């Protein structure tokens, strides 16, 4: 069986019905027509899916408004159980969901992010009965003054193509735990994983109307953000779209939370474990999900004394992965999300060629799978930190390496960018690790490793990487407002 036959067979087995999930209804066609999703591995049509218009958006919001009173007042133990049951249902369907994500994104079937999605639902299930208010000391008179945390009502969640089920879980779990209903806008390039997630949530006992999943285009997003009964918008994606969402939300002063792009510095000092540092730099930036991760350490800054050694180590690892069909469990790296993305990535590399040393990659990978979306892991050395390839997110398997002199120089370089999502430090000097972490202008830092994105820790950026947090107590606080109640006595 060739790749095309295999993908068609697997798609027939695991792809859900292409439908909008509006309250209790599955809507398979709309006045706005449909979109096509091309399989990035084979280059052939994977499936079509409907485009939600203003009518479907309004129906979904109305369903959420209808479900909200009972959902917010549901006893905590019952809502806690539903979130826990969703986690168990994702676990039961993990293999199926991984295959769906592999088909629509090209991400290897072994790394669909389902374990993290499960973690988010389990973690926030535990918050449902523990998210207490506050008792306030009063003056000048005596009173009972207390604060309640109130859910917003119907909130919108707009998620990106990379890790669609995980990104959805990062927003759905805390929103549900706080008592909100959610309109989830699926990614245009990977809509099917979240369609199946909607079915799984309903099968696990989530009441009708608490979750609606709408597929579509930028007009669908506009209709969701502008709807007067959408009380808050949570968005993960790029800065250009984020600015348009903020402008639309400003029309009705709808609050937003934004998790945007990154160009994370990865600082390697001469006293670090160079093997471990090089392995993380190469594996995470040029191999894992074909470099399509916002928090990946894509600016590798190496102290001058070990600069060439680290380049050699990184190059050796970057040329070693098994690249191929993401449905193959032995494959480490599949295609990027689309042919347009591959074109954009390679055009950025081509523009940088005359100013950098191309150590490895920088081209399309020939393959017998049919698609034109495979980009070879690319390592660029001697990169100017002020250049386009260093300052702007490539969102592909491209690593930019540059030398630094000392600690002060490394911090100056790391912070000389308008993004501030994540950063990484490699050193065996504990004091230096604390000093450098303290001096980095970012929201999330890993020392001597690439930390797991766990539900218990807050994640998010500063500067043009957005604002607000996902994970931890901060993550559930994004989905409530504070109501103060003062009763004198």
Point out the residues that are catalytic: 259, 294
Burial class (CB in 10 A: 0-12, 13-18, 19+), 483: exposed
| Neighbouring-strand partners of residue 184 | 157, 213
Residues in the chain: 489
Q: What is the DSSP-derived secondary structure letter of residue 110?
A: G
Q: DSSP readout, 413-480? A: HHHSSSEESEEEEE-S-HHHHHHHHHH--SSEEEESS-----TTS-B--EETTEES-BSHHHHHHTTE
Q: Are 6 and 327 in contact (CB under 8 A)?
A: yes
Q: What angle do CA 89, 45, 348 make, to 5 degrees?
A: 95
What is the CA 417 to chain-centroid distance, rounded? Answer: 21
Cβ atoms within 10 Å of 253's Cβ, excluding its own: 6
Cβ atoms within 10 Å of 113's Cβ, excluding its own: 23
Dihedrals phi, psi of 480, to nearest 5 degrees: -135, 160
As given in the structure block, the two tokens for residue 188 are 């245009």
**Sign of the torsion formed by the C-alpha atoms of 196, 198, 199 and 201:** positive
DSSP E strands in 219-345: the ranges are 232-236, 256-259, 265-268, 299-303
Nearest of 313, 269, 307 to residue 427 by alpha carbon = 269
Question: Rounded CA gap, 100 and 327, in Å?
Answer: 10
Cα Rg, the chain, nearest whole Å? 23
As given in the structure block, the two tokens for residue 183 are 């309109």
Q: Are 437 and 265 in contact (CB under 8 A)?
A: no
């Amino acid at each position: 069986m060739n790749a095309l036959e295999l993908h068609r067979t697997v798609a027939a087995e695991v792809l859900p019905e292409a439908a909008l999930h509006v309250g209790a209804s599955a809507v398979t066609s709309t006045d706005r027509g449909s979109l096509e999703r091309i399989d990035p591995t084979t280059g052939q049509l994977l499936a079509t899916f409907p485009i939600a218009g203003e009518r479907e958006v309004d129906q979904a919001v109305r369903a959420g408004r209808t479900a909200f009173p009972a959902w917010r007042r549901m006893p905590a133990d019952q809502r806690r159980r539903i979130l826990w049951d969703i986690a168990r249902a994702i676990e039961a369907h993990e293999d199926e969901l991984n295959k769906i994500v592999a088909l629509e994104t090209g991400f290897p079937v072994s790394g669909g992010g389902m374990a993290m999605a499960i973690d988010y639902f389990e973690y926030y299930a535990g918050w449902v009965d523990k998210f207490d208010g506050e008792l306030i000391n009063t003056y000048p008179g005596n009173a009972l003054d207390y604060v309640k945390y109130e859910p917003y009502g119907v909130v919108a969640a707009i998620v990106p193509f990379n890790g669609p089920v995980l990104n959805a879980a990062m927003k759905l779990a805390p929103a549900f735990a706080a008592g909100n209903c959610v309109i989830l806008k699926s990614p245009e390039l990977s809509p099917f994983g979240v369609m199946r997630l909607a079915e799984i949530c309903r099968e696990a006992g989530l009441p009708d109307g608490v979750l609606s999943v709408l597929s579509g285009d930028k007009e669908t997003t506009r209709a969701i953000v502008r709807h007067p009964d959408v009380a808050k918008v949570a968005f993960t994606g790029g800065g250009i779209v984020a600015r348009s969402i903020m402008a639309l939300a400003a029309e009705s002063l709808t609050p937003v939370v934004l998790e945007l792009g990154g160009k994370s510095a990865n600082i390697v000092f001469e006293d670090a474990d160079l093997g471990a540092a090089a392995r993380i730099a190469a594996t995470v930036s040029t191999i894992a999900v074909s470099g399509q991760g916002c928090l990946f350490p894509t600016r590798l800054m190496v102290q001058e004394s070990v600069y060439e050694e680290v380049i050699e180590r990184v190059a050796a690892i970057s040329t070693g992965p098994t690249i191929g069909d993401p449905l193959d469990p032995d494959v480490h790296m599949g295609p990027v999300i689309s042919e347009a993305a591959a074109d954009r990535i390679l055009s950025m590399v081509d523009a940088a060629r005359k100013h950098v040393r191309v150590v490895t990659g920088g081209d399309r990978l020939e393959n017998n799978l049919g698609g034109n979306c495979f980009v070879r892991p690319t390592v660029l050395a001697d990169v100017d930190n002020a250049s386009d390839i260093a300052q702007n997110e490539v969102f592909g398997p491209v690593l930019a390496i540059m030398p630094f002199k000392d600690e002060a120089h490394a911090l100056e370089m790391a912070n000389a960018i308008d993004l501030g999502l994540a950063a990484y430090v490699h050193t065996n000097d504990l004091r230096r690790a604390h000093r450098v972490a303290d001096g980095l202008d970012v929201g999330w830092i890993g020392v001597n490793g690439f930390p797991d994105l766990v539900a218990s820790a807050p994640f998010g950026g500063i500067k043009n990487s957005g604002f607000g947090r996902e994970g931890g107590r901060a993550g559930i606080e994004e989905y409530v407002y504070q109501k103060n109640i003062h009763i004198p006595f």
